[in-house]
Structure 1
Amino acid sequence: MMPVLFVFVVGIAVALIRRHFLVAPEERPSGDAPARLLGWAVGLLAEQRQQWGQAMIGELDSLDGRARRWRFALGCVAAAAVMPPWGRAAAALGALMAIAASGGGLVAYTHMHYRLHTDGWTWVGAVILVLLLVGYILGGSVLLRRPGVTGPGLVGGLVVAAAWLAAGGFTFNRWLNSNGLGPSQWLLLLAPIVVGAGGTLWGGSAAVGRRAVRLATVSAALGIYLYGILAVAVVGATGHDPSDGWTTAQIVDDNLGNQAVFYLIALPLMTATIGWAAAAATARLRHRPAATAPAALPAPPGADPALTAALLPVVTASRPAPDDLRSPAGPNPAGVTAARQRRIWYVLVLCAALAAVTFLVLITFLHPR
């Protein structure tokens, strides 16, 4: 499991670094970091609160000092993220909050019902779980505000959840006690591809496809986690191999930890990485420029059509470039050098990531079991 998670983490890091290196400096957002962060948060607000957002931007412009600007921007971002959305997005956010709260409540009930051991690490794990669930709710709240994302994102979440249920088993006992994912594990790869490609085609851009994938990841992770915790609470230690010598409390505690690791960490990493790649590939294929045929030359009266067709490539090649494609000063050396340096850094990072993944996979296969 750990090598697989590492591969997906490296894939996400390479994608983010690629976006950073391949964007020209003049195309990056202007302004300091607090202003960019506040502008992003204002874009999440509904139309009824846009005036409040513009007032916050004006207030930030009047502040001096980096620390004061950061405090003000972070406070506004927190307020924008906590504010509930409107309409159908509000109902979807309420459903996500109910699912997350039910999962956390079931964990507490299972812990008390089976009298699991409690120590300092138990409270540390509880804090981490609460932070994960709250992070999913905030992330879902942000994504539900984006136009054109709610529908494909929630439908994609159902597709991803159904794929994981089909691979792991729909019954509680099979979900907890099956050996591996079974013959349907290919669905775990197909579902994110369908969500990423479908969201891109629905929204018309890779940005909408990536956001739909992230919303599908949030909803599927919360739903599958609730299903797994409910299975642990109902099944307990039933179906487990008694030859291991584990007590009921140890089995239940291990199953609780597995649900969090598999479905709040592994599922999101896998779904987001594959879906992101599918959205980018779909957008590139969808917007691939078609080869345009050269315009036909007007043939003089009485000219031979065969001779005109033979001379067309020669005349087309001798045509001067349009004015907007010619630069009297020639290419900008500084811009060419900067672009070349960005690509060199990207290639170096990609090679290092591939080498690390290859090394880890070799160690995994060579390690004695």
Structure 2
Amino acid sequence: MMPVLFIFVVGIAVALIRRHFLVAPERRPSGDAPARLLGWAVGLLADPRQEWGQAMIGELDRLDGRARRWRFALGCVIAALAMPPWGRAAAALGALMAVAAGAGGLDAYTHMHYRLHTDGWTWVGAVILILILTGYILGGSMLLRRPGVAAPGLAGGLLVAAAWLAAGGFTFDHWLNSYGLGSRQWLLLLAPIAVGVAATLWGGSDAVGRRATRLAAVTAALSIYLYGVLAVAVHGAIGHDPSDGWTTAQIVADNLGNQAVFYLVALPLVTTAIGWAAAAATARLRHAPPAAPVLAASGPGSALAGTTHAASAQRRPTATNDHPAASLPNATTARQRRTWYVLLLCAAAVSAAILVALTLMRP
């Protein structure tokens, strides 16, 4: 499992770094961190609140001191997240919060009910779990407010959750005590592909497809984690091989840890990586240039006019051609970005191949 997770982590990292290299310097966000954070939050506001957001950006520009700017920006971000109107997104966010709170509460109940061992690392793990669940809620709240993302993202989350349940088993006993995912592992690959393709076609761009895929990963991860913790709470150590010599508390603790690792880490990594790739491929195929130009009018006169216009456009000098030296830095920067991206991709591919080879060689 770890080699597969490593490959998906490397793939997501390569995609993010590639996006960073391909963005032109003039299009990258400017300003310090508080200004960028506030600008990002204002971009999520509904139209009736945009004027308030622009006023807060202007107010931030008048503040001096890093601490004061951070306090003001964080306060505005909190206000933007809680500020109505939310519409249907409020109901969806409430559902995500209920699922996350239910999973965390069940985890605590299971820990106390089966009298699991408690020490300092237990509290560290509890803090990490709370931070992860909180991060899912914050990420979901951001994505729900993006235009065109909520519907395909939530529907895709249900599809991904159904695929994992079908692969792992719908009954609690089979879910906890099955070895592997059986013959339906292909569903774990097909579901994210369907989400990425459908969301890209729905929203008309790969940006909507990527965001919907992330929302689907958030929804499915929280849902499946709640299902897994509920299975542990209900079944406990039932069905486990007694020849291992584990106590009931050890079995329950191991099952709880597996639910967090598999469904709060592995599931979103798999869904996001495959969904992003499907969204990018769909957008590339959808916006592929036609094989030949199509003339607007028929007849020899129109064809001659179109040919003449194309030839004149090719002969017409541009500002870049008039000043070749002006385009040299941009071309050099583009080549440097491409070189770094190729080196990064090769390093990622070699690392993944070595890890897979070591896994296959292991007895």
Q: Normalising by the residue count of structure 1, what TM-score does the alignment of the two structures yield?
A: 0.90
AA in 2 matched with 1:349: L
1:356 aligns with 2:351: yes
String of CA shifts for 1:183-236, please: whole Å, max 9, x gaps: 111000010010011111001111111111111111110000010011111111
Give the alignment of 1:1-369 within 5 angstroms: 1-83=1-83, 86-293=86-293, 321=314, 323=316, 327-330=321-324, 332-368=327-363
Q: Which runs of 5+ in 2 are unaligned?
A: none
Please say which structure displays the higher CA radius of gyration: 1
CA distance in 1, matches of 2:125, 2:83: 28
How has the CA–CA distance of structure 1 residues 360 and 75 changed in structure 2, closer, same or farther, with 3 Å as cutoff?
A: farther
User: Match for residue 306 of structure 1?
Assistant: none
Q: Which runs of 5+ in 1 are unaligned?
A: 301-308
- More deviation in 348-357 or 180-189? 348-357
How has the CA–CA distance of structure 1 residues 362 and 33 changed in structure 2, closer, same or farther, with 3 Å as cutoff?
A: same
CA distance in 1, matches of 2:344, 2:78: 34
CA distance in 1, matches of 2:58, 2:310: 55
CA distance in 2, matches of 1:329, 1:48: 45
CA contact (8 A) 1:82 1:138 kept: no
* TM-aligned CA deviation for residue 322 of structure 1: 5.5
CA distance in 1, matches of 2:123, 2:111: 12
* TM-aligned CA deviation for residue 155 of structure 1: 0.3
AA in 1 matched with 2:349: L
CA distance in 2, matches of 1:152, 1:234: 33
**Which of the pair is proportionally richer in helix?**
2
Q: Alpha carbon RMSD of aligned pairs, Å?
A: 2.5
Identity fraction in percent: 75
Aligned residue pair count: 359
SS in 2 for 1:238: coil
CA distance in 2, matches of 1:320, 1:109: 72
AA in 1 matched with 2:334: A
CA distance in 2, matches of 1:125, 1:189: 30
CA contact (8 A) 1:196 1:213 kept: yes
* TM-aligned CA deviation for residue 260 of structure 1: 0.4
CA distance in 2, matches of 1:206, 1:365: 35
CA contact (8 A) 1:168 1:182 kept: yes
- More deviation in 225-234 or 29-38? 29-38
CA distance in 2, matches of 1:153, 1:73: 28
CA distance in 1, matches of 2:90, 2:48: 14
How has the CA–CA distance of structure 1 residues 6 and 299 changed in structure 2, closer, same or farther, with 3 Å as cutoff?
A: closer
CA distance in 1, matches of 2:155, 2:5: 25
SS in 1 for 2:351: helix
